[in-house]
């Protein structure tokens, strides 16, 4: 299996001289199975340069797995070039939205309103299909078995485990480790903690033994205190997940958009000092736009 990072920034694209090394595009990850089946994780601005790289493979079927519908994870979809070329298929997978009462089809229908984009969906030449997923129910894309898991974010949000030919990976999307909303002295605390513990065990099971864990690591521990409840993880929480799940490699991603490459590397070096590597620990990496990792 092979992954290539096309977008690793969070919240808003951040191009410029201070983000050249790690990249300024928002979340998009290309996954290739050993049979060369194409799976795309999220459709942030990074999907535009990805789509340019696919023009030599036409006609193609692109399976896009949407973690959630916040702009930084979907805003590149209207610019996915194969959509404008006959013979291609875009198959969009994602969650049912209990607020709107609609499936993943609303992601495109909202973006392609004339108020926001000059080309209507009916004018696109490719075939566009929608697959609304159910949490914990696996499905197949060629040789790959994919299982969506509900994560913790201020909108319905899926993480995805992908398994193919004896290899496995997990992508968290945007995720904040859930915490008890009650004080320990509150009578509701024990019952809610039971729910939190069950969810933590479910997520560790979803990540268990993966070759690659790609995790939301937006904040440092110090920054997190002022951003609690925003739905994002820390370097520390990602390392804890990776170690407890027995992951072999951790890629920290969704880099804070105001953090320069130099500041990102400095923060990561401090994290490595705070978590000295022990025998059997995962390999810790910063996700970098353009990087390819085969496993």
- pTM for the model stands at 0.96
Burial profile 261-273: b = 16 or more Cβ within 10 angstroms, e = fewer:
beebeebbeebee
Angle 19-25-27 from CA coordinates, rounded to 5°:
125
User: Domains in the chain, please, with CATH?
Assistant: 2-286 (3.60.15.10)
Structure token digits, residue 114: 């004339």
C-alpha 190/C-alpha 55 separation (Å) is 55
Q: How far is 134 from 200, CA to CA, in rounded Å?
A: 19
In the prediction, which pLDDT does 109 show?
87
Residue of 284, 200, 272 lying closest to 242 (CA atoms): 284
Q: Which of 273, 268, 264 is nearest to 22 (CA)?
A: 264
Helix, strand, coil shares, percent, the chain, to 5: 30, 25, 45
250 pairs with which residues across the strands?
A: 213, 284
Residues 229, 235, 240: CA angle, nearest 5 degrees? 95
pLDDT in tens, the chain (295 residues): 999 999 999 999 999 999 999 999 999 999 999 999 999 999 999 999 999 999 999 999 999 999 999 999 999 999 999 999 999 999 999 999 887 888 899 888 888 888 889 998 889 999 999 999 999 999 999 999 999 999 999 999 999 999 999 999 999 999 999 999 999 999 999 999 999 999 999 999 999 999 999 999 999 999 999 999 999 999 999 999 999 999 999 999 999 999 999 999 999 999 999 999 999 999 999 999 999 999 9
Tokens of 195: 């729910």
pLDDT for the residue 107: 87
- In whole angstroms, give the CA distance from residue 149 to residue 136: 5
- What is the model's pLDDT at position 98? 82
State how far the alpha carbon of 197 is from the alpha carbons of 25, 51, 73, 200, in Å. 35, 41, 28, 5
Angle, helices 261-274/235-245, rounded to nearest 10 degrees: 50
Distance CA 9, CA 260 (A): 11
Of 7, 8, 105, 108, the C-alpha closest to 51 is 7
Q: How far apart are CA 294 and CA 290, in angstroms?
A: 13
Q: Where do we find the tokens 């994560």?
A: 151
pLDDT at residue 110 in the model: 87
Residue 180: asked if its preceding bond is cis (omega within 30°), the reply is no
Terminal CA-to-CA distance of the chain, rounded, Å?
A: 6
Q: How many angstroms separate the CA atoms of 211 and 223, rounded?
A: 29
The pLDDT, as a whole number, for residue 145 is: 98
Beta-sheet strands, E only, within 42-135: 61-65, 89-95, 127-133
């Amino acid at each position: 299996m092979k992954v290539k990072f096309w977008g690793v920034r969070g919240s808003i694209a951040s191009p410029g001289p201070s983000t050249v090394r790690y990249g300024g595009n928002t979340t998009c990850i290309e996954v290739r199975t050993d049979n060369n089946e194409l799976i795309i994780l999220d459709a942030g601005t990074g999907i535009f340069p990805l789509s340019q790289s696919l023009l030599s493979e036409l006609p193609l079927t692109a399976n896009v797995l949407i973690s959630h519908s916040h702009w930084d994870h979907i805003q590149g979809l209207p610019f996915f070039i194969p959509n404008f070329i006959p013979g291609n298929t875009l198959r969009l997978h994602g969650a049912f939205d209990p607020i709107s009462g609609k499936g993943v089809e609303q992601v495109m229908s909202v973006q392609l309103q004339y108020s926001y984009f000059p080309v209507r969906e009916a004018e696109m030449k490719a075939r566009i299909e929608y697959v609304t997923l159910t949490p914990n129910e696996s499905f197949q894309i060629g040789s790959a078995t994919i299982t969506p898991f509900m994560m913790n974010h201020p909108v319905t949000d899926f993480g995805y485990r992908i398994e193919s030919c004896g290899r496995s990976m997990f992508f968290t999307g945007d995720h904040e480790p859930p915490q008890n909303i009650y004080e320990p002295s509150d009578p509701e605390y024990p019952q809610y903690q039971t729910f939190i513990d069950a969810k933590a065990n479910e997520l560790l099971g979803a990540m268990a033994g993966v070759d690659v864990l790609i995790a939301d690591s937006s904040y440092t521990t110090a920054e997190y205190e002022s951003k609690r409840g925003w739905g994002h993880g820390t370097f520390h929480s990602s390392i804890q997940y990776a170690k407890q799940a027995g992951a072999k490699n951790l890629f920290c991603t969704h880099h804070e958009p105001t953090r320069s490459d130099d500041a990102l590397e400095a923060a990561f070096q401090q994290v490595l000092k705070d978590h000295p590597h022990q025998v059997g620990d995962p390999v810790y990496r910063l996700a970098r736009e353009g990087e390819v990792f085969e496993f």
